[in-house]
Amino acid sequence: MLTSLTRSGTVELGVGRPPWTQRERELLRPLPPPEEGQILSIYGASDPLSWTSEAMITNMIVLLCLSALFPVLMGTEPNPDCFPATDCSDVNAEKSGVYTITLKDGAVQVYCDVVSGEQNDQGHWTVILRRMDGEVNFFRPWESYKKGFGNKELSCIEFIHQLTRRYKYKLRVDLEDFQGKKAYALYESFSVDSEADGYKLHVSGFVDGGAGDSLSPHNGAKFSTFDKDQDLSDDRNCAKQYYLGGFWYSACYATNPTGLYLWAKDHDGSFNIGATWYHWKKSWRSLKSITMKIRRVM
């Protein structure tokens, strides 16, 4: 009868069993007990038992850590102020004003409207265009509209595209005349394609707030400026011919928020070069203010 090593020292082997190799003896040799205060070291070990021990110990440590953190993780609400805002829906604002939001290309300042809207959609509007007075010149080239100018008057077209390609948005257009009368138009869906597609406009779902629908005729139009003619007219450049700003001109327009800003005393409505919204009063008379703003659809 042959004998070999066991944890207790020997093991009986069956008759005819060849002698144990040196490697087999090493594998059967008992592991030395760890010194006090130490965990079994297995890094660099080739023993399968050692690797198994390390995996078990590592898993136990991870589970213990997670079990200790679980109540904290489950009981803590994320603070929205710790995350970068992607539009005015993420801005915890109590009053309208200029705020910083972040997209993939960096931070952008925009005007957030926290008061406009009806019962179910009040506030959280990101203003993309605002005509309030004649201080800002809107007769600008393509690059100016692409990159934007000011943080209250116009958001850059590229920024509008980046927003509306990520989320669904609705559009609200607020109007005011020089007599103080107000109206609005709401569109349940609004988006702008990429520059490669001409920043084409997509708008639908008109809801009348007294202003009538002057934007649907522009649906499907590409953005145009005096130096980049993409309108739907075959014989003219709408922006250049009428000294207008950049807009989604069809052939040519039913609304033109970026037209010349004409005070009431300077414009009798006989020619359509002002900041207009025709279907409100069936008139080309320039308005005191036109504001376009978008809100994320939850």
Q: Give the Cα separation of 151 and 156 in Å (integer).
A: 9
Q: Is the dihedral of CA 231, 246, 172, 211 positive or negative?
A: negative
Q: Give the Cα separation of 239 and 58 in Å (integer).
A: 68
Domain 97-296, what fold? Gamma Fibrinogen; Chain A, domain 1 (3.90.215)
- Of 43 and 250, the structure prediction assigns the larger pLDDT to 250
Domain range annotation of the chain: 97-296
Give the chain's length. 298
pLDDT of residue 271: 61
Average pLDDT over residues 173-183: 96
Average pLDDT over residues 44-56: 50
CA distances from 3 to 24, 26, 79 (A): 13, 15, 69
Place of tokens 């609200």: 172
Reduced to 3 states (helix: H, G, I; strand: E, B; else coil), residue 190 is strand
β-sheet bridge partners, residue 256: 276
Query: If you compute the radius of gyration of the chain from its CA atoms, what whole number of angstroms results?
Result: 35
pLDDT of residue 280: 97
pLDDT in tens, 142-164: 999 998 886 667 778 998 999 99
pLDDT in tens, 71-86: 444 443 333 343 466 8
DSSP 195: G
pLDDT in tens, 221-232: 999 999 999 999
Is 0.85 topped by the overall pTM?
no
- Of 52 and 43, the structure prediction assigns the larger pLDDT to 52
Buried b vs exposed e over 83-105: b needs ≥16 C-beta within 10 Å? eebbbbbbbeeeebeebebeeee
Average pLDDT over residues 34-45: 46
290, pLDDT greater than 90: yes
